[in-house]
């Protein structure tokens, strides 16, 4: 089976590197599926999950935006932050979700609603990747 090299990189360094059969993720323009030999492209990523099919298994990486660069032989995900599903601290993600929900429920004018919404999206994405929701 043909494979494509995938690298998930953050400002803190590499998070994932392997050869996979397929990459699928959510770009700001919609869902993308990438197979070996895909045409070159660059796409901005939404907060979401990068799904990596490898040897019949699917590995999940939570990303908080960034860019996807596709070349016929390599996919690079340049993410602001990324975590492998197996390395996510579920308790911490649940606490972040509760804090964001509380901020959104208060009618305090000092609350930055957009920031709270993004924090909630990130926490929900991390929980989704771990299978908690």
**In this predicted model, what pLDDT tens digit does every residue of 31-40 receive, in sequence order?**
999 999 999 9
Tokens 């009618």, residue located? 107
- Name the segment(s) of the chain with CATH classification 2.60.15.10: 4-85
Tokens 């000092």, residue located? 110
Query: What's the topology of domain 4-85?
Result: ATP Synthase; domain 1 (2.60.15)
- Looking at the chain, the whole-number percentage of residues with pLDDT higher than 90 is 59
The CATH-assigned architecture of domain 89-129 is Up-down Bundle (1.20)
pTM: 0.85
Q: How confident is the model at residue 107 (pLDDT cuts 50, 70, 90)?
A: low
Backbone angles phi, psi at 58, to 5 degrees: -120, 120
């Amino acid at each position: 089976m043909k494979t494509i090299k995938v690298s998930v990189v953050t400002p803190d360094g590499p998070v994932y590197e392997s050869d996979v059969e397929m990459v699928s993720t959510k770009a700001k323009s919609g869902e993308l599926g990438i197979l070996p030999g895909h045409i070159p492209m660059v796409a901005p990523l939404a907060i979401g999950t990068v799904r990596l099919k490898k040897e019949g298994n699917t590995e999940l990486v939570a990303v908080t935006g960034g860019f996807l660069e596709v070349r016929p032989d390599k996919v690079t995900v340049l993410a602001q932050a990324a975590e492998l599903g197996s390395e996510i601290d579920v308790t911490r993600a649940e606490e972040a979700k509760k804090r964001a929900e509380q901020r959104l429920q208060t009618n305090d004018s000092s609350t930055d609603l957009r920031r709270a919404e993004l924090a909630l999206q990130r926490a929900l994405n991390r929980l989704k990747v771990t299978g908690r929701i």
